[in-house]
Chain A
Amino acid sequence: MDDDQHPADRRVSRRHLLLGGAAAGLGAAGSVGIAAAVTHTGEPVAVADVDLNGRRTVPFYGVHQAGIETVPQAQVTYLALDLLDTVDAGALKRMMRILTGDAAQLTQGESALADSEPELALVPARLTVTFGFGPGLVARTAKPAPSWLRPLPAFTIDRLEDAWTGGDLLIQVAADDQLTVAHATRMLLKDTRSFATLRWTQSGFRRAPGSEKPGTTMRNLFGQVDGTVNLTPGSADFEKLVWGTSSPGWLAGGTGLVFRRIAMDLDKWDKLDRGGRESAVGRTLAVGAPLTGTKESDEPDFAATTAIGFPVIPEYSHMRRARSENPDERIFRRGYNYDDVPTHTAVSNSGLLFVSFQADVDAQFVPVQKRLDDLDLLNEWITPVGSAVFAVPPGCTSSGYIGDTLF
Chain B
Amino acid sequence: MTFAGPTPPAAMTATGGYALRTRGLFKRYGARPALQGLDLAVPRGVVYGFLGPNGAGKTTLMRLLVGLMRPDAGEIELLGQPYTWRQRRRLFEVGALVEAPTFYGYLSGRDNLRALAASGARVPGARVDEVLSLVGLAERGRDKVGRYSLGMKQRLGIAAALLSDPQLLLLDEPANGLDPGGIVAMRQTLRALTAAGKTVFVSSHILPEVQQLADVVGIVNAGRLVREGRLADLLSEGGHVRARVSQADLPAARIALAVLEAPTSVQPADAVGHAWIDVRTTPERAAEVNRLLAAAGVYASAITSGSDLESIFLSLTAAAPRPDAAAAGWGERG
Do the two chains bind? Answer: no
B residues neighboring A (CB under 8 Å)? none
